[in-house]
Amino acid sequence: MEGTIFDIKHFAVHDGPGIRQTIFLNGCPLNCWWCHNPESQSKNIESFIKVNKLDGKEFKKEVSVGYKITTEELFKIIQGDQIFFEESSGGVTFSGGEPLMQANFLYDILKVCKENIINTCVDTTGFASEETIQKIAEIADCFLFDIKLIDNELHQKYTGISVDEILRNLQWLDKSNKNVILRFPVIPGITDAVKNISEIKSFIKSLKNINQIDLLPYHNISNGKYSRFNKENKMKNTEPLSDVDMLQLKSEFESIGFKVGIDG
Ligand code: SF4
């Protein structure tokens, strides 16, 4: 099978257990205001005019985001890091974008990894049909599952889609006792609102088997990308939360019995 990916990160330490290789698949059905990879949201290989500035002059260059790769080609790259996976109890993480958007390709590569006893994680928004999530859950070892906003209107506003399907899929994974680590992007002024934190805490408290959440601090490192790729940046004046605020949030989630990490 053939899929489209736009990046591969070797020796990743924040994308699941142990040392990991993270593979970024093109395409995302969401359009989050704070997206770090806005150039990869299309499932197709897109070309952009990248604008670089030097000494007050603008230099424009056409760049493509993403390339086609077969399951066999990708697996060879994964295998190159297998020794590090074995030594660190790590593995490979499929991220994006939203990897479930290329569900058949994802299933195919997950199957080859399983046959070769390589641990796999799927880093997902959870936005997919029930059939898709259930099919991938048959074969993936772990999900890194984003939880952003519980209020549907706010979710629609800041990501462009409804939260209902996402929460339903999360409840199904929990009920089916799948291995899930939640991930909460802490976006100042949006997801860190007192009401949202309280709603997330009460939603995740109702889960029976999931008990781990990683807090992902907002960074404004992507500001340059928005201007380079000529995309509107709605977060350009937003500053990251302080370490003290992140630690305060960590204790809030620990107080409901969750194991909490701060990543990135
Ligand atoms: S889910 Fe992730 S990749 Fe998709 S738009 Fe949001 S931040 Fe970007």
Q: Among 41, 95, 155, 161, which is best to mutate for testing ligand 1, by the most ligand atoms less than 8 A from CB?
A: 41
Identify which of 25, 23, 115, 113 has the alpha carbon closest to the alpha carbon of residue 75: 113
Angle, vertex CA 112, rays to CA 108 and CA 116, nearest 5: 165
User: What's the rounded mean pLDDT across residues 87-113?
Assistant: 97
pLDDT value at position 153? 98
30 lines ligand 1 (CB under 6 A): yes
124 lines ligand 1 (CB under 6 A): no
User: What's the rounded mean pLDDT across residues 187-194?
Assistant: 97
pLDDT value at position 249? 97
Quote the ligand 1 centre to 55 CA distance (angstroms): 33
103-115 vs 130-137: helix crossing angle, rounded to 10? 10
Quote the ligand 1 centre to 161 CA distance (angstroms): 11
Quick one: which H or E segment has residue 203?
A: helix 194-205
pLDDT value at position 145? 98
Given a cut of 80, whether residue 12 has pLDDT beyond it is: yes
217 lines ligand 1 (CB under 6 A): no
DSSP conformation letters of 58-127: EEEEEEEE-EEEEHHHHHHHHHTTHHHHHHHT-EEEEESS-GGGGHHHHHHHHHHHHHTT-EEEEEE---
User: What's the rounded mean pLDDT across residues 171-179?
Assistant: 98
Ramachandran class of 100: left when φ > 0, alpha when ψ lies in -120 to 50, beta otherwise: alpha
User: What's the rounded mean pLDDT across residues 13-17?
Assistant: 93
Write out pLDDT tens, residues 36-66: 888 888 888 877 777 777 888 888 888 888 9
Other CB atoms within 10 Å distance of the CB of residue 135:
18
Given a cut of 90, whether residue 214 has pLDDT beyond it is: yes
Quote the ligand 1 centre to 33 CA distance (angstroms): 9
Residue 29 CA: nearest ligand 1 atom is: 4
User: What's the rounded mean pLDDT across residues 61-86?
Assistant: 94
97 lines ligand 1 (CB under 6 A): yes
pLDDT value at position 236? 87
Write out pLDDT tens, residues 20-32: 999 999 999 999 9
Q: Among 101, 156, 159, 233, which is best to mutate for testing ligand 1, by the most ligand atoms less than 8 A from CB?
A: 159
Pairing verdict, β 119-124 and 142-146: parallel
222 lines ligand 1 (CB under 6 A): no
Domain 2-262 indexed as CATH 3.20.20.70: yes
User: What's the rounded mean pLDDT across residues 98-111?
Assistant: 98
Quote the ligand 1 centre to 87 CA distance (angstroms): 31
Residue nearest ligand 1's atom 7 by CA:
35
Write out pLDDT tens, residues 215-262: 999 988 777 778 777 788 899 889 999 999 999 999 999 999 999 999
pLDDT value at position 52? 75
Given a cut of 80, whether residue 189 has pLDDT beyond it is: yes
230 lines ligand 1 (CB under 6 A): no
Domain ranges of the chain: 2-262
Q: Per-residue confidence at 264, pLDDT binned at 50, 70, 90?
A: low
Look up residue 58 and give its two tokens. 């603008």
Among the residue ranges 138-147, 201-210, 232-241, the one predicted with the least confidence is 232-241
Given a cut of 90, whether residue 121 has pLDDT beyond it is: yes
CB 14 within 8 A of CB 33: no
Given a cut of 70, whether residue 82 has pLDDT beyond it is: yes
Q: Among 98, 158, 218, 231, which is best to mutate for testing ligand 1, by the most ligand atoms less than 8 A from CB?
A: 98
